[in-house]
Amino acid sequence: MSSLLTDEPRVEDATSPMNTSTRPDIGTIISRGRNVRPNGLAGLLLSLASGLFLWLAFTPMDWGPVAWFALVPLLLLVRVPKPTRWMYRGILAGSLVFWLVTLQWMRLGHATMYFALAALAFYLALLTMLVIGLSRVAVHSLKLPMVLAVPICWTGIEYLRGHLFTGFSWYLLGHTQHNWVEIIQVSDLFGGYAVSFLVAAANAALVMMVPTKFFVDWQLCWPQEAESLNTPNLARSRKVAVAVSLGLMITALLYGGWRRSSGEFPIGPRVSLIQGNFVATLDPAKRAPANEIFMTQFHLTGQTVPSQPDIVVWPEAMFPYPMWTHQPGMTDEQLDAVDSRFDAKTWKSRASQEKLAEIADMTNAALVFGINTFEAKDNSSKVYNSAAFVQPGIGVTDRYDKIHRVPFGEYIPLKSWIPFINNAKGYSDYGITAGREVHVFKTKEWRLLPIVCFEDTVPHLVRDMVASAQKGGKPPVDLLVNMTNDGWFHGSSELDQHLITASFRCIETRTPMVRAVNTGISAVIDGDGVVRDPHLFIDLDSALAGEPPREGIRDPKTGRYHKQLNCAVVDDVPLDPRSSLYVKWGDWFAASCFVVCFLTALRGITRRREQTIVSADEV
């Protein structure tokens, strides 16, 4: 990849037979000019510096303001006239270190996740290298100003990784600004990608302000090359870059201030969010007994009944007894033949449905419970990661099956194409089946849209779900209901980042969200992406230990969210009557940036070929 992105012409090696026999003097000169590039460690050191700043900007440190200059060291490599020696290798290595450290929480899920961690980190580091390469082509070949080239390329590649290989929309550059509520409101226009664009543009403007002497002193280019940086219009270019960046920021802030003051949030349903504290594991010996999981959450649910909630939510798959369903009309013989592990009596069991109905009657509230569903249909068995909807006096009335599955966590990609995996013990029946339809749960006058686990981290998925729910003249959904099991990650920074990422979905769709999360962080998020302080916080762990109860979901001294607690959050949901252009238009902005990236890549490849032909002719 680096060979395609480099700006240097390719020539035949001076030691090749053609050069040594015909033009050794020219071959030697070309070899020296090509190989003796300044500062071979520049790519690595500058990449490591930006990686350090980005690590500070993201969780667990969460120093968001650092992001406004975090990319400056890395972007210096965009401005230099020619690549430094081993530049792209250094960028790859430095970025790999950042991603390995940032994503280290993945290893907590299971020992096999070390491989997934390394693979994902390497892939993301490749994309960082690609951003720099494309930015160089855009600046030096297409002559785009850095203040436009860099944010376009950065946003376009973020959009790419949000879709490629089912997508990974965690740790977008804009997520660092979640605490600056006014500036992130532009997400309802162009998605969270717009905030990444703003931050990248500011970094590019700062790079333009770096004096030319710096590049020579730090051996990023030779003195004669630095002369090309001192263009006659350099002063004007710097002023334009700063003006564009400041203009974008001021516009975003004015828009955010206007949107936040444009109306009040009417009071919606009262929700009770139940949070257990059970470590998720594939080892049955370390897994809490199903009865303990159920009784803890049942007890917490009972404590919220005096608050008269309208909706009670349990986390993903934390109703520990599966729900069995089968296609109507199937005989006992057919059910016995569907799956050797289960007989007809099991498929006909209604125990879970009856227990759910009892809880709904006890609370006199609608339930949205995370549960595993086993379904016998068309002479085969399927397993779904579901959200069951239960109404008092009626029972289970609807079910949403998770659409967006996590690769390797919930299914094996291309399993049927790889015989040794498909036939391996423990993998032949591994994974869940993807759901196909968006469901809207209706209770009283409210419309609820269930979202399971990491689905709340996928911008286009949630946007499409919200848009489809209001097709045909249907009213907008009032509330996003997310059920998650973050017990795999043992109270790490993953819990914080998951909450931050989910909050952007609320701004993008202008729809509040409630999250019931095993081990935390359970919360109510309003349409501005603000996590609300709950009306009631029930701390079961402190009560059992005879300690003073925690006062809320955050530590009042540090501001950090409490994690790994058995607790319940009760609050009134602030409804959001505003509409969202992002829901209407989708990702046209980020997709346009990606199209520019694609065209830039084509230009880089064709320019590379042109240089190779010219160099060969000169030799």
Is residue 381, in this structure, part of any structural domain at all? yes
Residue 34 lies in a domain: no
Q: Verify that 229 and 301 share a domain, yes or no.
A: no
Burial of residue 98, with CB atoms counted within 10 A of its CB: 0-12 exposed, 13-18 middle, 19 or more buried: buried
Whichever domain contains 531, its CATH number is 3.60.110.10
Domain shared by 255 and 284, yes or no: no
Helix (H), strand (E), coil (C) string for 1-36: CHHHHCCCCCCCCCCCHHHHHHCHHHHHHHHHHHHC
Q: What is the pLDDT of residue 416?
A: 52
- Residue 9 inside a domain? The answer is no
Structural domain boundaries, residue 135: 39-262+586-618
* Rounded average pLDDT over 223-237: 81
Position 130 confidence tier, pLDDT thresholds 50, 70, 90: very high
pLDDT class of 411 with cuts at 50, 70, 90? low
What total of structural domains would you count in the chain? 2
Nearest to 600 by CA among 49, 29, 136, 123: 136
C-alpha torsion sign, points 607, 609, 613, 616: positive
Torsion angle, CA of 547/551/552/557, rounded to 10 degrees? -100
Same domain, 379 and 441: yes
* Better pLDDT: 130 or 472: 130
Q: Does residue 23 belong to any structural domain of this protein?
A: no
Is residue 11 a part of any domain in this protein? no
pLDDT in tens, 560-591: 999 999 999 999 999 999 999 999 999 999 99
Comparing 40 with 196, the larger pLDDT belongs to 196
pLDDT digits (tens, 9 = 90+) for 168-214: 999 999 999 999 999 999 999 999 999 999 999 999 999 999 998 88
**Is residue 505 in a domain?**
yes
Q: How far apart are CA 307 and CA 579, in angstroms?
A: 31
Q: Tell me, what's the pLDDT at 573?
A: 98
Contacts by residues 549-555 (CB-CB < 8 Å, ≥ 24 positions apart) = 553/520, 553/521, 553/522, 553/523
**Does residue 66 sit in the same domain as residue 113?**
yes
Using CA atoms, how far apart are residues 197 and 590, in angstroms rounded to an integer? Answer: 9
Residue 32, pLDDT > 60, answer: no
| Runs of H (alpha helix) within 317-411 | 332-338, 344-347, 351-363
Average pLDDT over residues 32-41: 62
Same domain? For 318 and 361 the reply is: yes
Same domain, 78 and 191: yes
Instruction: Let me know how long the chain is.
Output: 619
**Please, what's the largest Cα pairwise distance for the chain?**
93
239 and 362 together in one domain: no
Give the contacts of 351 (CB within 8 A, at least 6 positions apart): 321
What's the average model confidence in pLDDT over 362-382?
A: 94
Instruction: For residue 72, give the amino acid letter.
Output: V
pLDDT mean over 212-236: 82
Q: According to the model, what pLDDT value does residue 91 have? A: 96
* Residue 213 and residue 347 share a domain: no
% residues pLDDT > 70 (the chain): 89
Query: Rounded distance, CA 543 to CA 566, Å?
Result: 10
> What's the confidence (pLDDT) of residue 408?
64
pLDDT at 410: 66
Mean pLDDT of the chain: 89
**pLDDT single digits (tens) 417-451:** 555 445 444 444 557 888 899 999 999 999 999 99
Residues 273-281 have a mean pLDDT of 94
More confident residue, 118 or 414: 118
Same domain, 325 and 353: yes
Residue 244 has pLDDT above 90, yes or no: yes
Query: What is the distance between the alpha carbons of residues 99 and 128, in angstroms, rounded to a whole number?
Result: 10
Cα–Cα distance between 365 and 535 in angstroms, integer? 18
Q: Is the pLDDT at 362 greater than 70, yes or no?
A: yes
Nearest to 155, CA basis, from 610, 592, 617 = 592
At 59, list the tokens: 């969780």
Peptide bond into 392 cis (omega under 30): no
Does 272 or 115 have the greater pLDDT score?
A: 272
Residues 429 and 400 in one domain: yes
The answer to the question of residue 19 being in a domain is no
In a domain, 411, yes or no: yes
Do 298 and 446 lie in one domain? The reply is yes
Q: Rounded mean pLDDT of 456-462?
A: 96
Considering the domain architecture, whether residues 147 and 168 belong to the same structural domain is answered as yes
